[in-house]
Amino acid sequence: MLKTLDFKGFFLIFFDRCNNNYANKIFMINKFKLNFKNKNEIFALSLLIIVTIISTTYYNYTKNNIIKNYENVINNVYFKKTVNHLLNNLEPKFKKITHQIKPGETFDSILNQYSVNKEEITDIKNKLSEKTNLNKLNVNQKIYLKIDQSNNIVKDFIFQISNKERIILTRDVENNNFNQKILLTRLNKKILYKENIILNSLYKSATDQKIPVNTIIEFARIYGFQVDFQRDIRKKDRFQIMYEVFIDEKKKIIETGNILFANLILSGENNSLYYFDKKGSIGHYDKSGKSVQKALMKTPINGARLSSPFGMRKHPIDGFNKMHKGTDFAAPMGTPIMASGAGIIKKAGWCGGGGNCVVIKHNSTYKTIYAHMSKFASGIRNGVRVKQGQIIGYVGSTGKSTGPHLHYEVVVNGKKVNSQTLKLPSGKILAGEERKIFETQKIKLDVLKSEKIIGLN
């Protein structure tokens, strides 16, 4: 009985141990599988990280190379030239044109050169002719065009009438017609005061003070009746001037106005002039109310010297003595020449030995001649009426001439006379109610001038 029990016990113990060994083996196998599994995951993860790093590095390297290649291509001089050539030859749908009118051009010839068809030219002219005369185009006047290049039709058209007025034509696509609009530039009036010492010439001293050219010419005109700018002005004489300008929103001077006050101080003596704006008596008057305006100016040119007076002389080209029936003023090439009086141009052309010349008939008594011009001013031709002081041409040396100068003649009742000794009728003298109004205006201008000088106005 005991042996049986021992055998059973032994068997049970053996079986239990076997089970334990088996369980341990199973546990060890499972543990190994787990460890192996973990190591695979770590290996796979490490491999993934390595691959990622290599791929990223390669991508960045490749990207940098690509960028560098692009930069090299873009910066390549031949590539740039090719691109610029292509861009320059690409035409936009709308082409904008700014045309500055040249001498001799007509309205039709200008639009023809931009391939505008005849019907459109007629439409544009019909619209513009309501406001301006297209037969009298001013040199340097500007025309603005916007053309649809797909059908060569004018989209917009701008015509500059003056410094402050423009006509704008815009195409109405539905009606195939132009809508017209007048655009006015708002100008503000400003009164300026300037003065300077005359060291070389009045013109140089005035331009040094940035006085507009139109104002300088007007200053020379109003004093041209009583002052010989070649002989009367001495070094260190002085001038004073108070004048109007009209400026736009950008403070740019668009137009010049009247000279309100002027004073040419010669050898210490004042020659003050005041502007009087009463209708019927408009002009410049001295302090006594006497108008400075006469039929003719003493000299029709500024900044010149008297090089040959009226009278007998040895001709510099012909070589023999003959009567010099005019006055010569030596001046730099291109110096403006003014009409010494208002009148009608009887000739603007070639005068043989006189070269390019202009002849002006002022009235039944007076006629003046201007010779050896380099060229005529814009719009100067036979039959045109000119104002006193208007620029008619420029100093030259055409015809029988040894150097740039103006040969100036005055003809009185058909006879050539010495322009420098010619006595002209005195100007108008204000009287009565006009004189009272003038005296009041003169005081106001003197006060305004004083305020400008001390900086109050």
Q: What is the percent of the chain with per-residue pLDDT over 70, rounded to a whole number?
A: 80
Q: Is the pLDDT of residue 451 over 90?
A: yes
Task: Categorize the per-residue pLDDT at 232 as very low, low, confident or very high, splitting at 50, 70 and 90.
Answer: confident
Angle, CA of 199, 253 and 246, to the nearest 5° = 110
Instruction: Write out pLDDT tens, residues 132-191.
Output: 777 777 777 788 888 877 777 888 888 877 777 788 888 887 777 788 888 777 788 999
To the nearest whole number, what is the mean pLDDT of the chain?
80
Range ranked top by mean pLDDT from 200-204, 320-324, 393-397, 417-421 = 393-397
Residue 230's pLDDT is: 65
Residue 225's pLDDT is: 79
Q: Is the pLDDT of residue 11 over 50?
A: no
Q: Is the pLDDT of residue 287 over 90?
A: yes
Between residues 343 and 172, the one the model is more confident about: 343
Between residues 38 and 370, the one the model is more confident about: 370
Q: Hey, what's the torsion of the CAs at 36, 40, 45, 50, to 10 degrees? A: 120
